[in-house]
């Protein structure tokens, strides 16, 4: 078997150890005679999987007791709707636009409420994070929304915005579990798991209890209410059982590696290998200002669209997959999530040096 170095932004590389464990359990999970994909979500065996996954996530992130952990189907686009539908008591929300996903979230919120941008980095093609120290947050805003790590453009908030006391909601999809977070600084932390935690089709929302409406919202579909998931331990309907199972294994894998503090140090070292080369190269250039660079998604260019295309083809032949940049920006992008071994980045840099020398 030959494994490539998969630099995809999502669905993305998963820990090989986790994949091997799942393969070994595919036909018979712990002697039950069936796969996790076949068992009832109401069974004690799956309930144990779900409860263990939540407990491990709470330990990893040090999640306070007054926050609910919700496993929700539908990925990120469902959260773009759920956030405004559940939080907007005044029907007002402020968004910080640092890329496509924050903008998409705002556009979706505008279907239901008065949502507007109060800061943006669009003027420089989202290559930096705007100053968020003194934002024009509206007095009646129900929340302030950010995408904390921008998958497409490769930027990340190093400091959280000053929300003037308003609830902070953060999409952390592409940085989920890549570093420690102070959960209490947020009202809601949510992430699609397909980038850094598990297979596609599942989002995890960490929601402060007081933000979950106490009563049913008669105009909001049942499946779009956080209360539905909170009241039913994420088991109101059949959840994405297999994705939860894999996420649980990833949580164990992270704990065994020393938790999020150790993971963060590893990720800084790993990203540094590529950034250091990009800053010294005469051909390849990083596109993001140094102070706002993501540790997870690293876009870069040669300055020539033809050379970019040649590089992507050549890289693929050498076993470096999914380096093509997002269709909206072009160039290249290396996503170096938790499960990407540092050897993968070192081999990529070695190939880039050879490519530069030949051109």
pLDDT digits (tens, 9 = 90+) for 255-312: 999 999 999 999 999 999 999 999 999 999 999 999 999 999 999 999 999 999 999 9
Within 10 angstroms of residue 24's Cβ, the number of other Cβ atoms is 10
CB 168 within 8 A of CB 96: no
Q: What distance in Å separates the CA atoms of residue 18 and residue 22, rounded to the nearest whole number? A: 6
Residue 231 pairs with which residues in a beta bridge? none
Domain 258-358 fold is: 3.90.1150
- pLDDT tens by residue, 159-196: 999 999 999 999 999 999 999 999 999 999 999 999 99
Residue 352: the pLDDT is: 98
Structural domain boundaries in the chain: 28-256, 258-358
Residue 329: the pLDDT is: 81
What's the CATH number for 28-256? 3.40.640.10
Residue 136: the pLDDT is: 98
Listed in sequence order, the residues at least 6 apart from 322 whose beta carbon sits closer than 8 Å to its beta carbon are 6, 7, 8, 9, 335
Supply φ then ψ for residue 335, to 5 degrees: -95, 120
Cis peptide before 242 (omega within 30 of 0): no
Choose among 25, 53, 51, 52: nearest CA to 39. Answer: 25
Q: What distance in Å separates the CA atoms of residue 343 and residue 335, rounded to the nearest whole number? A: 14
Listed in sequence order, the residues at least 6 apart from 174 whose beta carbon sits closer than 8 Å to its beta carbon are 9, 10, 149, 150, 151, 191, 195, 196, 294, 296, 297, 335, 337
Q: What distance in Å separates the CA atoms of residue 29 and residue 36, rounded to the nearest whole number? A: 6
8-state DSSP, 166:
P
CA dihedral 50, 54, 60, 64 (to 10 degrees): -170
Indicate which residues carry an active-site annotation. Answer: 101, 171, 195
DSSP letters along 270-339, please? HHHHHHHHHHH-SS-EE-S-GGGB-SSEEEEE-S-HHHHHHHHHHHHHTTEE--BPPTTT-SEEEE--TT
Residue 327: the pLDDT is: 78
- pLDDT tens by residue, 48-84: 999 999 999 999 999 999 999 999 998 889 999 999 9
With cut-offs at 50, 70 and 90, classify the pLDDT of residue 1. low
Within 10 angstroms of residue 348's Cβ, the number of other Cβ atoms is 24
Average pLDDT of the chain to the nearest whole number: 96
């Amino acid at each position: 078997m030959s494994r490539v170095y998969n630099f995809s932004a999502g669905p993305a590389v998963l820990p090989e150890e986790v994949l091997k464990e799942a393969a070994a359990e595919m036909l018979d999970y712990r002697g039950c005679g069936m796969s996790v994909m076949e068992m009832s979500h109401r069974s004690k065996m799956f309930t144990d999987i779900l409860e263990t996954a939540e407990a491990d996530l709470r330990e990893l992130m040090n999640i306070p007791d007054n926050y609910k952990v919700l496993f929700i189907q539908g990925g990120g686009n469902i959260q773009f709707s759920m956030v405004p539908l559940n939080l907007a008591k005044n029907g007002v929300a402020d968004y910080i636009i640092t890329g496509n996903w924050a903008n998409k979230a705002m556009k979706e919120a505008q279907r239901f409420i008065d949502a507007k941008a109060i800061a943006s980095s669009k003027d420089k093609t989202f290559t930096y994070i705007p100053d968020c120290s003194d934002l024009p947050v509206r007095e009646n805003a129900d929340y302030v929304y950010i995408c904390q790590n921008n998958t497409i453009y490769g930027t990340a908030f190093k400091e959280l915005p000053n929300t003037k006391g308003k609830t902070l909601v953060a999409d952390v999809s592409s940085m989920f579990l890549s570093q420690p977070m102070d959960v209490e600084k947020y009202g809601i932390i949510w992430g699609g798991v397909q980038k850094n935690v598990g297979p596609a089709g599942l989002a995890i929302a960490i929601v402060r209890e007081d933000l979950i409406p106490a009563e049913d919202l008669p105009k909001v579909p049942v499946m779009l209410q956080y209360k539905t998931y909170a009241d039913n331990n994420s088991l109101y309907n059949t959840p994405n059982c297999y994705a939860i199972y894999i996420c649980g294994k990833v949580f164990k894998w992270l704990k065994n590696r020393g938790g999020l503090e150790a993971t963060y140090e590893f990720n800084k070292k790993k990203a540094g290998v590529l950034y250091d080369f990009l800053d010294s190269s005469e051909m390849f250039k990083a596109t993001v200002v140094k102070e706002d660079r993501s540790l997870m998604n690293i876009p870069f260019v040669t300055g020539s669209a033809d050379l970019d295309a040649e590089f992507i083809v050549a890289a693929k032949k050498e076993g470096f997959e999914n380096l093509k940049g997002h269709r909206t920006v072009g160039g290249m992008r290396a996503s170096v999530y938790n499960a990407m071994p540092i050897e993968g980045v070192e081999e990529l840099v070695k190939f880039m040096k050879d490519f530069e020398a030949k051109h």
